[in-house]
Amino acid sequence: MRNFILGVIITLLVLIVGGLVFALLGFVPTNADSTPPRIETRLANTALDASMERHAPRLTNPVPPTDENLIEGMKIYTMNCSVCHGTLDNKPGLLEKSLYPPPPQIILEPMDDPEWHIYHAVRTGIRYTGMPAWNKALTEQDMWKVTAFIARIEKLPPAVQDYWKKSFGVAPPAANSEGGKEHKD
């Protein structure tokens, strides 16, 4: 029994020291311009969802989704988020392929997460990714406005859709999908 425990301890030590040597000798890749393996993506997404479930308070959006607030949310998105998450002329973000992991394309593939989830991600950011914590950069009101906008990309009221069309020259995703979804790239 004592030998068995000693064996376990030595194995653990070898793994830890091996991992440290591997990292400290520079074998861990640090480039951001490659695609994460599928298993890594799946593991990380599952861990992220579980952490959200555990940590994110179930808040209700205190900002009413009026046309005015949604249009402001759209502007906040354009100024701060579109470079990674995709622009309102339905193109991928400039940095789509420049981060590890790559940023989800929220305009081309709208999210169906609840607002408390989106808000928590926006407010606190996502560690080990390029997703910043916006609580030091945007006001509470603005974070809720952009959250309201993101949560409704496919079901914006007509006036907000018109504003989108007029400003960016193309219709929002919901309007596109009515006439057979437009291609994505």
Q: Which residues bind ligand HEC (CB under 6 A)?
A: 48, 52, 80-81, 83-85, 95, 99, 101, 103-104, 118, 121-122, 126, 129-132, 134, 146, 150
Distance in Å, CB of 13 to ligand HEC, minimum: 33
Rounded distance between C-alpha atoms, residue 168 and residue 146, angstroms: 18
Distance in Å, CB of 15 to ligand HEC, minimum: 27
In terms of CB distance, is 22 or 42 closer to ligand HEC?
A: 42
Distance in Å, CB of 147 to ligand HEC, minimum: 7
In terms of CB distance, is 2 or 58 closer to ligand HEC?
A: 58
3-state DSSP assignment of residue 93: coil
In terms of CB distance, is 52 or 108 closer to ligand HEC?
A: 52
Reference 115, options 149, 142, 92; nearest CA is 149
Rounded distance between C-alpha atoms, residue 133 and residue 88, angstroms: 22
In terms of CB distance, is 27 or 128 closer to ligand HEC?
A: 128
Residues ≥6 apart with Cβ < 8 Å to 110: 150, 153, 154, 173
Provide the residue type at 66 as one letter: T
Extract the tokens encoding 126: 């996502």
